[in-house]
Amino acid sequence: MFIRLTATSIDEMDSADRASRAELTQGKSGDEARDVAAVLEAFAAERLLTLAASSVEISHEILLTAWPLLREVWLAETHADRIVRTRLRNVAAEWARDSEDPSYLYSGSLMEAAPPRANAWAGAIGPGGRGAFGFAAASCNVHPCTPFASALPGRSQYRRIPMGRTRPEEGRDLRPDCPSADR
């Protein structure tokens, strides 16, 4: 939970991030979702987390450096993944704000970084990260990406749509291996 609530910039600085409650319970059973809610409430009661109606955030950024278990274990083990996830979220948000300008799409080494960082990509694409999913899918549509596509959650639900085609129902030459942006 604290890992998801921490963003890491490209210059390797950690900062508190916000997540929706839905994002923190995505893919969990009813019992697991209740457990997550209980943990959120317990941490909020200790003033470690701040809960809003639909979002959660770390109450004090000092926790990121002052809590040894968080700093030396949980954050240290996921450092590289959080850099990738934070970068993806930020670029996807810029891409969406700029009318999905294709010049923002990932290619080359940025796409090659995806498979080793599959956990970061999956975390970035959860609820609230639909823009990130659309961005990743659009990157796959424009650039070769079989390894990248395998890192995306739910890959089997999507198919690559060749350039110029935006909907699977057009039924032409749809190839597996890459998700398509659902526009």
**Per-residue pLDDT tens over the stretch 120-142:** 455 555 544 556 777 877 777 77
Predicted pLDDT of residue 59: 95
Say if residue 123 is exposed, middle or buried (CB neighbours under 10 Å; 0-12, 13-18, 19+). Answer: buried
Residue 67 is predicted with a pLDDT of 92
- Helix, coil or strand: residue 32: helix
DSSP secondary structure code for residue 125 in this structure: T
Report pLDDT for 167: 41
Distances (CA, A) of 56 to 1, 23, 65, 67, 89: 10, 10, 19, 19, 17
Tokens of 160: 């690559």
Is the pLDDT higher at 114 or at 10?
10
H or E segment to which residue 48 belongs: none
> Tell me, what's the pLDDT at 91?
86
State the pLDDT at residue 159: 41
Q: Would you call 28 helix, strand, or coil by DSSP?
A: coil
pLDDT score of 62 more than 90: yes
18-20/55-58 β-pairing: antiparallel
Return the higher-pLDDT residue of 54 and 147: 54
Residue ranges with strand state E in 119-167: none
pTM of the model: 0.64
pLDDT at 121: 54
| Cα 20–Cα 85–Cα 128 angle in degrees, nearest 5 | 25
Q: How high is the pLDDT of residue 60?
A: 94
